[in-house]
Amino acid sequence: MNRIEGWNAALFTALNADMASPHALVLLARILAEAAPFAAAAGMVLLWIRRDRLTRLHLLDAALAALVGLSIAQGITHLWYHPRPFELGLGHQFMPHAAEASFPSDHATLLFGLALPLLWAAATRGAATGGAATGGAGFAFAALALATAWSRVYLGVHFPLDMIGGLVVALVSTLLVRALAAPLHARAYPLLLVLYETVLARLHLSARLFPRGR
């Protein structure tokens, strides 16, 4: 464990910004660190509105995997407290953050939790059935997750292993959701889709802007 912690601290020191770091890069990291979940949510909503029924099923998988992953992450933080770098006097902190358990990262868990199910779906769907679009979304969320992971280490509020932990938790939650995919896609999700389309119809929203049942 000491060797792992030593590696974790050394990598953090190598990635963490310092007083000589470019102001523009620190600002970019702040934007990524704080805005990424909102950007991901906006992307999910846009995909949900504009894509077809099968893509919506996979978006529900992604949302569920992210929620399950966050629940697992919260359980870990309650069972085991790992301090943040600034609590240990390591590096430089460029973003305010509460002194709370750092492992695993909620941001990494959420964003990788959205990305992995979509990448998995794309790998099992042919291009003719929209796999390319699903894969594109998955890669976009994965890129956002990696950028956010870098930013939060760069700003001094997380260790690298916090981000790796978030990725592992997201993978576990993705596997759990995939194990339940058949009944979810056959029974639970269709009810949500019917409810969604019923709301659209009741609100008299344009089928061109809000496609139904494709």
- Asked whether the predicted pLDDT for residue 135 surpasses 90, the reply is no
Distance CA 113, CA 167 (A): 8
pLDDT, tens only, 169-190: 999 999 999 999 999 999 999 9
The answer, yes or no, to whether residue 94 has pLDDT greater than 80, is: yes
Exposure string for 134-149, b = 16+ CB within 10 A, e = fewer: bbebbebbbebbbbbb
Residue 122 confidence (pLDDT)? 87
Residue 13 and residue 86: Cα distance in Å, rounded? 12
Average pLDDT over residues 29-38: 96
Please determine, for residue 52, whether its predicted confidence score (pLDDT) is greater than 60. yes
20-30: average pLDDT: 96
The reported pLDDT for the residue numbered 187 is: 92
CA torsion angle for 109, 110, 113, 115 (degrees, to 10)?
A: -120
Element (DSSP H or E) covering residue 172: helix 160-179
Prediction pTM value? 0.91
The pLDDT assigned to 53 comes to 87
- Please check whether residue 29 is in contact with residue 94, taking contact to mean a CB–CB distance below 8 angstroms: yes
108-131 tens-digit pLDDT: 999 999 999 999 998 886 544 456
> Contact 95/156 with Cβ under 8 angstroms?
yes
Instruction: Give pLDDT, residue 8.
Output: 95
The whole-number pLDDT of residue 1 equals 62
pLDDT tens-digit map of 69-84: 999 999 999 999 999 9
- Residue 204: is its pLDDT beyond 90? no
* Rounded-to-integer distance, Cα 201 and Cα 5, Å: 56
Position 161 pLDDT exceeds 70: yes
Answer for the pair 97, 158: CB distance below 8 angstroms, yes or no.
Answer: no
Distance CA 128, CA 169 (A): 31
Question: What CA–CA distances, in Å, run from 163 to 109, 117, 159, 199?
Answer: 8, 18, 7, 38
Sorting pLDDT into bands at 50, 70 and 90, what band is 214? low
State the amino acid at position 29 in one-letter form: A
pLDDT for position 80: 92
Average pLDDT of the residues of the chain: 92
DSSP three-state, residue 110: helix
As a whole number, mean pLDDT of residues 152-181 equals 97
